[in-house]
A = this chain, B = another copy of it.
Amino acid sequence: MEYIFEYEFEVRDYECDIQGIVNNANYQHYMEHARHRFIQNFGLDFAELTKENIILVVTKAELQYKKSLKSNDKFVCRMNIGKQGIRYIFYEDIYRLPDNELCTKGRFEIVSLIDGKLGLSEKLEKSLPFMKMV
């Protein structure tokens, strides 16, 4: 998969649980933060979107856990975005650094509510570089 954006993180100890590895749910937190930075990178601002009554909602989240991150690890979330009908699909894969080991694959379906109704936002259509979906 080709990536068009990436964001780096480091593990914080409090994100690790009893087994000394990052808790499963925390990867969803990492990926949410990466999505927010992704959106900003393409000139969109959430505060502005909200004022214009454009709300982005996650309807589905799929995460595949391959290898665990642990205390002191650094990693990067590499991303791309596609579109299926009125759904935006975010691909977010987490690789450990510096060895680039794939740790977690994420796929998120997101819809936009314009004035409370499902629909495509012109602003998003213009700003985000959707890849062709197979």
Residues of A within 8 A of B (CB): 12-14, 16-20, 23-26, 28-29, 32-33, 36, 46, 55, 57-65, 71
Which 3 pairs between the two chains have the least Cβ-Cβ distance? A25-B28, A12-B33, A61-B63
> A27 — nearest CB in chain B belongs to which residue?
B25
Q: Which of B20, B29, B58, B64 contacts A14 (CB 8 A)?
A: B29
Please report whether the interface of chain A is mostly helix, strand, loop or mixed according to DSSP. mixed
On whether the beta carbons of B20 and A29 are closer than 8 Å, the reply is no
Copies of this chain held together in the complex: 4
CB distance from A72 to the nearest CB of B (A): 8
Best-buried of A14, A16, A59, A62 by chain B (most CB within 10 Å): A14
